[in-house]
Amino acid sequence: MNDLQRLKEMGITVWDVRRPECYPGVSPQPVSLPDDCKLLLVCESKPTEQEAWLFSKVLASMKLSVEQALYLPPQAVNLLGEHQLEWCWFAGSQEAEIEGVKRLISPSLSALDNDQLAKKQLWQQIKQYES
């Protein structure tokens, strides 16, 4: 079994070589998303249980389910391959341009949880796309 198969079995589908100069033959693989993925959450770390609860509430307000959303670390955004995304939410991470996708920008989910003004601003961003 090779290293890529081991990573996949461990559930690690997105990875980055920290020192690419040590691996001249390794080129980054494009990140492929399932066709039913409509929202991409871009943040530094996978949401905790409390953050996931908040995330699911925001998704529900957008008429999306948790199954239609995926998490991606910021360093993997530039590896994004073909997709059917409608939304990209940058939560506490540097934003990137993804053509044809509605973009949301907010503080991290943990900061958002305790900041009513930031929640209001996020809601206003979501609503602006509805008009």
Q: Does residue 62 lie in a domain region?
A: yes
38 pLDDT tier (thresholds 50, 70, 90): very high
Would you state the pLDDT for residue 98? 82
Cα–Cα distances in angstroms (integers) from residue 47 to residues 5, 57, 82, 120, in the given order: 25, 13, 24, 20
Length of the chain (residues): 131
Q: Does residue 21 lie in a domain region?
A: no
Q: Give tens-digit pLDDT for 101-119.
A: 999 999 999 999 899 999 9
Q: Does residue 1 lie in a domain region?
A: no
Q: What is the CATH number of the domain that holds 74?
A: 3.40.50.10220
* Structural domain range at position 92: 36-130
123 pLDDT tier (thresholds 50, 70, 90): very high
Q: Does residue 87 lie in a domain region?
A: yes
Q: Give tens-digit pLDDT for 53-90.
A: 999 999 999 999 999 999 988 888 888 888 889 999 99
- Residue range 12-25: mean pLDDT, rounded: 60
> What one-character-per-residue DSSP string does 29-54 give?
PPB---TT--EEEE-SS---HHHHHH
Would you state the pLDDT for residue 82? 82
Q: Which of 81, 80, 109 minimizes the C-alpha distance to 93?
A: 109
Q: Does residue 9 lie in a domain region?
A: no
Would you state the pLDDT for residue 124? 95
Query: How many domains, in total, are found in the chain?
Result: 1
For residues 118 and 25, the model is more confident at 118
CA 96, 76, 62, 112 torsion: positive or negative?
negative
Q: Does residue 26 lie in a domain region?
A: no
Would you state the pLDDT for residue 53? 92
Q: Give tens-digit pLDDT for 80-99.
A: 888 889 999 999 988 888 88
Q: Does residue 123 lie in a domain region?
A: yes
Q: Where are the extended beta strands (E) located within 1-131?
A: 39-42, 69-72, 87-91, 102-106
Q: Does residue 86 lie in a domain region?
A: yes
Starting from the edge strand earliest in sequence, which strands make up the sheet with 39-42, in order?
69-72, 39-42, 87-91, 102-106
Would you state the pLDDT for residue 77? 85
